[in-house]
């Protein structure tokens, strides 16, 4: 693999605090808009399912997730080659077209096409963090990166309330128009960034690997979703699973032979990397998937014998879970602050165990305000500890030269597992559900089973990570402990 020294950072230190703040906002807004858009669109899923009378609401999230996941490594390479600002503007423009199509489409297939196009915006966070290293001088890169990440707290606290208000007053298109407006602002802010010229590194685009990975993922997810309707032993389902196997085998062969793979399989042969990325990826992917379950539970109507939804408003569910969401951010921040003292495995293990308890709590305690508030607090505490420890586990398990690849693989694995677990959860929920006037509704057993499945997957993730060997604390890394 050909290597090249990194480009010089574009110093903004001499322009003062105001310029630093403007550039920081220009990176924070696009990066955190990913989370905001996820919350806003997720809150619309119940209303969209009823409006378009569809049993395929799972694909509202899956179309976005699969595209964003597969494109992330490709877009990262494009940013290095053609300049991060140019690439960020391009994917933001494509994402805007997709989000407009979601809002304006009169039919559900058009909505799904829009969601797939919107997925092109998904890699923006990876580019924003990389751009910080190019834009800010060394003494400010750490602060800028920390603020880009920690601003998640404001997103988690405010966006559910805003999305709930817009949903209650303007229907499902209210939060979707909020996402469109946010994308427009993101594009305007990105134009204020300094130019970041591309620097070809000699690396090749692993187009074939990306295509094979996408084919394996789509065929598996689609097969899981259609298995009940078509029959698990039907030729079509068996054909889809055969495509999954063949594409996966071909992907492994290609990745072993290419100099610049999408996934460095050689890294995954090391116990520390495999257990960290595998276990944390399974946990995070499951948590991202199960978030939709609460939205459907709260916002679907209560129809005896048909739907066990609570019939709440968007604002109500946001307020009921606010304490849990805030705790998620606070505990994650605490893990970061204590990273120099703690073995990062300890908050991860504790957080994973509490996360399992939170998911089990949701499985049986999801009928009243008090029960859901309690379950949200337990889950928020656990997931905050666990998610906060993930970057520390990665940092302490790989060399500085491998950090970029490891972070990219983490994002990729999370997205793939998110897509697969989301479809599994919807399959399990549909088994006890009822279809009425073309819309899939869910029973109390549906919601219980979804949380039990998620708790089981989280338990597997915890078991995998119990095998993580010792990792370095951040203080040891900074002092040359590696």
Phi and psi at residue 131, in whole multiples of 5°?
A: -65, -30
Q: Please state, in angstroms and rounded to a whole number, the distance separating the CA atoms of residues 359 and 376.
A: 9
Query: For residue 304, how far is the Cα from the chain centroid?
Result: 34
The answer to whether 349 touches 341, Cβ cutoff 8 Å, is: no
Q: Please state, in angstroms and rounded to a whole number, the distance separating the CA atoms of residues 238 and 179.
A: 39
Taking only the tens of pLDDT, the chain with its 482 residues reads 344 444 444 444 444 678 888 888 899 899 888 888 988 999 999 999 999 999 999 999 999 999 998 888 888 778 878 888 999 999 999 999 999 999 999 999 999 999 999 999 988 888 887 788 778 777 776 567 656 765 666 677 788 999 999 999 999 999 999 999 999 999 999 999 998 877 665 567 778 888 898 899 999 998 998 888 888 889 999 999 999 999 999 999 998 888 878 788 888 888 999 999 999 999 999 998 999 999 999 999 999 999 999 999 999 999 999 999 888 878 877 877 676 677 889 999 999 999 999 999 999 999 999 999 999 999 999 998 998 888 888 878 877 667 667 777 888 888 899 999 999 999 999 999 999 988 999 999 999 999 999 999 999 999 999 999 988 666 565 433 34
Q: Please state, in angstroms and rounded to a whole number, the distance separating the CA atoms of residues 152 and 28.
A: 9
Pick the closest to residue 40 from 64, 14, 20 (CA basis). 64
Q: What is the DSSP string of 438-465?
A: TEEE--HHHHHHHHHHHHHHHHHHHHHH
The answer to whether 309 touches 297, Cβ cutoff 8 Å, is: yes
Please tell me the pTM assigned to this model.
0.85
Pick the closest to residue 222 from 451, 58, 434, 430 (CA basis). 58
Pick the closest to residue 470 from 398, 410, 401, 397 (CA basis). 397
Q: Please state, in angstroms and rounded to a whole number, the distance separating the CA atoms of residues 190 and 25.
A: 9
Strand partners, 308: 302
Strand partners, 434: 441
């Amino acid at each position: 693999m050909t290597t090249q020294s990194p480009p010089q950072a574009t110093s903004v230190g001499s322009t003062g605090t105001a310029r630093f703040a403007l550039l920081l906002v220009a990176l924070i807004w696009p990066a955190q808009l990913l989370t905001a858009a996820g919350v806003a669109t997720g809150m619309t899923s119940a209303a969209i399912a009823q409006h378009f009378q569809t049993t395929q609401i799972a694909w509202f999230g899956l179309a976005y997730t699969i595209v964003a996941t597969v494109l992330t490594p490709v877009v990262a390479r494009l940013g290095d080659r053609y300049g991060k600002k140019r690439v960020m503007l391009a994917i933001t423009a494509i994402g805007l077209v997709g989000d407009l199509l979601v809002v304006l489409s009169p039919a559900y297939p058009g909505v799904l096409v829009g969601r797939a196009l919107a997925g092109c915006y998904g890699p923006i966070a990876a580019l924003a963090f990389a751009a910080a290293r190019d834009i800010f001088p060394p003494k400010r890169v750490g602060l800028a990166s920390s603020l880009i990440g920690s601003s998640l707290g404001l997103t988690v606290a405010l966006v559910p309330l805003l999305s709930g208000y817009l949903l209650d007053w303007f229907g499902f298109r209210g939060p979707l128009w909020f996402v469109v407006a946010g994308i427009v602002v993101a594009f305007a802010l990105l134009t204020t960034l300094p130019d970041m010229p591309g620097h070809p590194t000699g690396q090749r685009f692993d187009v074939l690997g990306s295509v094979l990975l996408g084919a394996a993922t789509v065929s598996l997810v689609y097969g899981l979703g259609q298995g009940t309707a078509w029959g698990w032993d039907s030729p079509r389902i068996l054909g889809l699973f055969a495509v999954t196997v063949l594409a996966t085998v071909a992907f492994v062969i290609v990745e072993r032979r290419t100099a610049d793979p999408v996934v460095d399989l050689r890294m995954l042969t090391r116990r520390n990397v495999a257990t960290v990325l595998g276990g944390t990826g399974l946990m995070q992917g499951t948590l991202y998937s199960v978030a939709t379950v609460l939205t459907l539970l709260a916002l679907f109507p209560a129809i005896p014998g048909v739907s066990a939804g609570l019939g709440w408003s968007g604002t109500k569910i946001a307020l009921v879970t606010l304490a849990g969401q805030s705790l998620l951010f606070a505990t994650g921040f605490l893990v970061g602050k204590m990273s120099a003292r703690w073995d990062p495995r300890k908050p991860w293990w504790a957080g994973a165990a509490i996360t399992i308890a939170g998911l089990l709590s949701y499985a049986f305690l999801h009928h009243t305000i008090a029960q859901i508030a309690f379950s949200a607090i337990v889950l928020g505490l656990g997931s905050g500890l666990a998610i906060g420890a993930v970057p520390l586990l990665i940092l302490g398990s790989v060399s500085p030269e491998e950090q970029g690849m490891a972070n990219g693989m983490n994002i990729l694995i999370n997205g793939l597992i998110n897509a697969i677990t989301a479809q599994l959860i919807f399959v399990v929920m549909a088994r006890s559900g009822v279809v009425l006037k073309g819309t899939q509704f869910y029973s109390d057993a549906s919601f219980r089973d979804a949380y039990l499945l998620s708790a089981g997957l989280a338990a597997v993730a915890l078991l995998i990570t119990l095998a993580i060997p010792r990792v370095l604390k951040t203080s040891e890394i900074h002092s040359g402990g590696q």
